[in-house]
Amino acid sequence: MSLQAKLDAFKADLYAGRLPFKPPAEVLATMDRTTQALIASGAAAKALKVGDKAPSFTLPDPDKNPVSSAALLAKGPLAISFYRGVWCPYCNMELQALQETLGDIRAAGGNLIAISPQLPPNSRKAMQQNKLTFPILSDMGNETAARFGLKFALPPELIEVYKGFGNDLALINGEPSWTLPMPGRFVIGTDGTIRYAEVNPDYTKRPEPSALLPALRAANLATT
């Protein structure tokens, strides 16, 4: 089953009340309405695109060790997944799908990291929960996500929904901004040029991990 098919099946079960917890209809309506508003805002069009130069960054891994994009790119092309956090089931399914594709990513000459605004202990939890062997880096305040054009602020009504779910992002992320990245995937060549970019303001929609592979292979060939 494809990643998107799994996401669609989860969403269908959630909305139909087939999961242990079914949000009230008004909560689901708020989630849908705020997602549509983000789509209509055109925010995704402002994200970095193929051919742009990727910003450099240094972010902590789950053990709080600094990891720099320069050091990663010195090893070869880099695939990045920006995701929302360990609390997001859609994100966890995406991380699991990326893990299943990790062998192909490395065979294509690439490395893979995920970036989220959550604190390092929550990144460690996500790695353990999803059995990941690639690192999750913590982007405090979504500063790196902002440089990629992904950062957005949650509207007040959605903040209340998340609090109702027990997802207090101020605690999970260690800062009070209540911002998130739009889910985004990028492939960056060793010269810092973006070779692949996919951003969707609808967090229930994610491209297949295999979509990264042609860009990684091409970027790897360009360095050899």
* Residue 2 to residue 6: CA distance in whole angstroms: 6
Phi-psi region of 174 (alpha: psi -120 to 50; beta: other; left: phi over 0): left
**DSSP H or E segment with residue 194:** strand 194-199
The DSSP string of 23-73 is --HHHHHHHHHHHHHHHHHTGGGGS--TTSBPPP-EEE-TT--EEEHHHHH
54, 79, 91, 115: the catalytic one is 91
Q: CB–CB of 129/46 below 8 Å?
A: no
Helix (H, G, I), strand (E, B) or coil at 184: strand
Distances (CA, A) of 188 to 75, 80, 116: 12, 8, 18
- Asked if 91 is an active-site residue, the reply is yes
Q: CB–CB of 4/197 below 8 Å?
A: no
Helix (H, G, I), strand (E, B) or coil at 104: helix
Q: Which residues are catalytic?
A: 91
